[in-house]
Every structure is written in C-alpha cells, then in structure tokens.
Amino acid sequence: MVNVAILGFGTVGSGVAEVIEKNGRHISEKVSNRIALKYILDVRDFPDSPFADRVIHDFSIIENDPTVGVVVETIGGATIAREFTRRALMAGKSVVTSNKELVATHGYELMQLAKEKNVSYLFEASVGGGIPILKPIRTCLAANELTQITGILNGTTNYILTRMIRAGLSFEDALKEAQANGYAERNPAADIEGHDACRKICILASLSFGRQISPDQVPTEGITSITLADVDYARSAGMKIKLLGRAIRRESDDRV
C-alpha cells in the first residue's frame, strides 16, 4: 500500500483529496498497488470536511512516518513549500507538485536531491497539465535537439485578450469578467503581469536545453498596458495580440 500526504488544503489540495477518495480503486488497479490518503497538512482545521480526521498541523509527523511514500505539495510559493519538499525528499519520499514558482526557481536542485535519494520529484502539472508536455520532452523527445520553444502559456491572459479582441471589452472589464467566471484569481498579478508565463517558459527551457534557467534571468512583460487601441491597430495589420512565452537557444555562444 502507498500512503499519500497532501500539503495544503486549498482548491488544489482538496481537489487532489477528492480524486484519491473517488478514484482510489481505479488508480490502485492501474499501478497494482493500493493508494490511500493518510494525512492532510494545513494550518487550519476543517471540521465540516469528510477528510477532517486526516488533517494535521505538524509536518514532522509526515516526515517521520515511514509508511508515507508520496507527498503532494499544493502549498504554493517557494519558501515553506521548498523547505517541506526538501525534507520530504531527504526522508525518502517522492514528491508531486504543480507549483510552477518552486519548480522554476529550485527545480534543478530538487531533482538532483530526489536522484540522490532514489525517489521522484514530479511536476507535470506545473506546465500544460492537461496536455501533457513535460514528460514528452524528457522521454519522447529526448533524442531530439530542441532549439526554440514558443507558446501561449497562460490561460487567464489568453481569455482576457480574446474578450478584448472579439467583444471589444476594455482590459479592466475583461479582467472582471474573467474573475467572475473563475478564470482569474482575486489577485491576478501573477497572470496579468506575466510572471506565470515566465515561470512556465523557464521550466520548459530548462528541460529542453539541459540547464537551469531562473525567472530572474528572463525579461518579462504582462498585458496590463494593452488597450483597445492596440487591439484595433493589430487588427488593421491582420494580427492579434497574444502573450507568448518564448525561449531560443543561441548556438553561437551557447546561451538562451
């Protein structure tokens, strides 16, 4: 049996718990081992949750429990999440995450630590989780030399720009609509200022080019200054405005 611990019980963490609970038998059949949710770590209590009996507040309980084989990190950020991830890997536990900030800034370090401890550090959901793209880069395309990556990497900004283009909404109105529909966070800064796309292109480039690329090395610009006048100007030239993540490997000096 493989016991799972979830770090953080917000939208993502609670969703993971629900999937394990509802699809546990199906997952267990596919991996030929029983999967069970043993702990949920959070600073809060959830007395009305069906998982209330599994909520704990001390990470060392997970860290020192030899029956926990997989830790799912859904805390976010690159401080506490990094500390707990390192401690979990050091304790011989595999870690799964969708935390693009942590992966983009400390992914190489954590992958090396996982390798040393003979466990896994998996982050497929950090970029294009529904596609997928990261595993194909590491496996299917491993024999290929990739020289350029370009793509629309952030769904929130793509929605906002699409509504500006098709419906003539101002940036502010399109953002409010995205928030009302649940496509944008209450604090959308990471999306609209380009940080989310920056972190994702760093992850993609690091895997594709074989070297660590940090977000602080990447020029980043969001969409907050885009106006309807810009949209109309692009249309007059037969173009559309999109926020792209782009990485190019320059062979001349082996830089990105």
The pLDDT score that the predictor gives to residue 256 is: 53
DSSP H stretches of helix in 67-194: 80-90, 100-116, 134-138, 155-167, 171-180, 189-192
Catalytic residue numbers, as ranges: 200
The pLDDT score that the predictor gives to residue 254 is: 55
The pLDDT score that the predictor gives to residue 239 is: 97
The pLDDT score that the predictor gives to residue 255 is: 54
Please enumerate in sequence order all residues whose Cβ is within 8 A of that of 184, keeping only pairs 6 or more positions apart, or say none: 156, 159, 160, 175, 178, 191, 192
User: Which residues of the chain, if any, have pLDDT below 50?
Assistant: none
The pLDDT score that the predictor gives to residue 252 is: 60
The pLDDT score that the predictor gives to residue 250 is: 84
